[in-house]
Amino acid sequence: MQGLHIINDKEKYIEKVNQKSGELALLAKGDGTEIMTMEIKSNKLFSVDPGDTDEVMEFFYLLKGSVVYQEDEKDTILYQGDYFYVQHLKEPVTFKTLKETGLLYVSSKPVFHFLSNDIKELYEIVKKVEKKDIYTHDHGKRVEEYSFKIAERLNLPRERMELLCYSALFHDIGKVNVPDKILNKPDRLTENEMNKIKKHPSDGYEMVKGTFLESIGKIIEQHHERIDGSGYPNGLKGNEIFLEAKIIGVVDSYDAMISDRPYRKGLGSRVAVEELQRLSNRHYDEKIVKVFTEILKEEGKI
Ligand SMILES: [Fe+2]
Ligand SMILES: [Fe+2]
């Protein structure tokens, strides 16, 4: 029948993209409406943002798994067959998957490319940076993992958690502009070379501008700021630095210390933590270092 499109192939889709937390596949589109499926791994956050216009409706049906929505300390758990939709949404709402979850996602306005391309591009840049700087393989992922764990214990609101994860993952994208020979130089860097490295937080900020992740730009820009004002690029102090940037700063420093560098072998976890503790209240937020130490202890790393 003309106009009827029957798809009896589970693997069929128009386009698919891997996102941080899972997979998004565009199944059908027309007249502005998009029908997608989202596969999200267990224990991941995802949020639904307000549309640009009031009329946008977004509908989600749980094909499998379960998700939890938390409001005023009260958890609402949704299971297979449950659904939710948003319209006239004023603020982002965040959900957490409790299991590997599949959702049918219908939007009355095209969102697929908006969600896919920006993230895809930033991912590509992370991969490029980690290839350029031969010692940083999976650095972004590790920083993300521990930043998430710390933030959970500090009860960071859920809507900030997801952005924290993106900021942690993409914190060093600005390094794409730093020549490889500086990143991997085995000797002491000259002042000029150091200044080139010090540009990466602000470059990272510029790179997310104009994407839907623009709001994480400031966090990326601040990840080398230190609470006594000795950091860069702006020498911010104490509360001038976002909590998210302070968290990333601690985990980032730890990961840098335990990784091999061109000019030295990686330190042991215990020594690295002692260094964080020594600089607590000067470079690093005391509470964050404390929580991070607890986590590493529980994981048997120290
Ligand atoms: Fe950095
Ligand atoms: Fe880093």
Q: What are the tens digits of pLDDT across the range 161-191?
A: 888 999 999 999 999 999 999 999 999 999 9
pLDDT at residue 137 greater than cutoff 80: yes
Q: What is the model's pLDDT at position 240?
A: 98
- Three-state SS for 97? strand
Dist. CA 140 → ligand 2 center (Å): 7
Q: What is the model's pLDDT at position 220?
A: 98
Dist. CA 54 → ligand 1 center (Å): 38
Taking each helix axis as running N to C, give the angle between helix 243-258 and helix 269-278, from 0 to 180 degrees, rounded to the nearest 10: 140
pLDDT at residue 140 greater than cutoff 70: yes
Residue with token string 């790179």: 207
**Section 198-214 average pLDDT:** 92
Dist. CA 213 → ligand 2 center (Å): 18
Which residues surround the ion ligand 1 when the cut-off is CB under 5 Å? 172
Instruction: Yes or no: say if 296 and 269 are a contact pair by the CB < 8 Å rule.
Output: yes
Split at pLDDT 50, 70, 90, the class of 20 is: low
Q: Give the ligand whose atoms come closest to the C-alpha of residue 225.
A: 1
Dist. CA 268 → ligand 2 center (Å): 18
Split at pLDDT 50, 70, 90, the class of 211 is: confident
| Mean pLDDT score of the chain | 93
pLDDT at residue 73 greater than cutoff 90: no
Handedness of CA 219, 144, 204, 208 (dihedral sign): negative
Alpha helices (runs of H) in the chain, residue ranges in sequence order: 112-132, 139-153, 158-169, 180-183, 191-197, 200-208, 217-221, 243-258, 269-278, 286-298
Q: What is the model's pLDDT at position 110?
A: 84
pLDDT at residue 52 greater than cutoff 70: no
Q: Which residue has the higher pLDDT, 222 or 89?
A: 222
| 223: DSSP letter | T
Q: Which residue has the higher pLDDT, 112 or 255?
A: 255
Q: How far apart are CA 35 and CA 17, in angstroms?
A: 14
Dist. CA 221 → ligand 2 center (Å): 12
pLDDT at residue 212 greater than cutoff 80: no
The backbone torsions φ and ψ at residue 57, rounded to the nearest 5 degrees and listed phi first, read -120, 135
What percent of the chain is predicted at pLDDT more than 70?
99
The C-alpha angle with vertex 212 and arms to 209 and 214, in degrees rounded to 5, equals: 35
Dist. CA 105 → ligand 2 center (Å): 34
Q: What is the model's pLDDT at position 275?
A: 98
Residues whose CB falls within 8 Å of the CB of residue 184, separated by 6 or more in sequence, listed in order: 133, 134, 135, 262
Which residues surround the ion ligand 2 when the cut-off is CB under 5 Å? 172, 252
Residue with token string 């690295």: 272
Dist. CA 172 → ligand 1 center (Å): 5
Dist. CA 212 → ligand 1 center (Å): 21
pLDDT at residue 231 greater than cutoff 80: yes
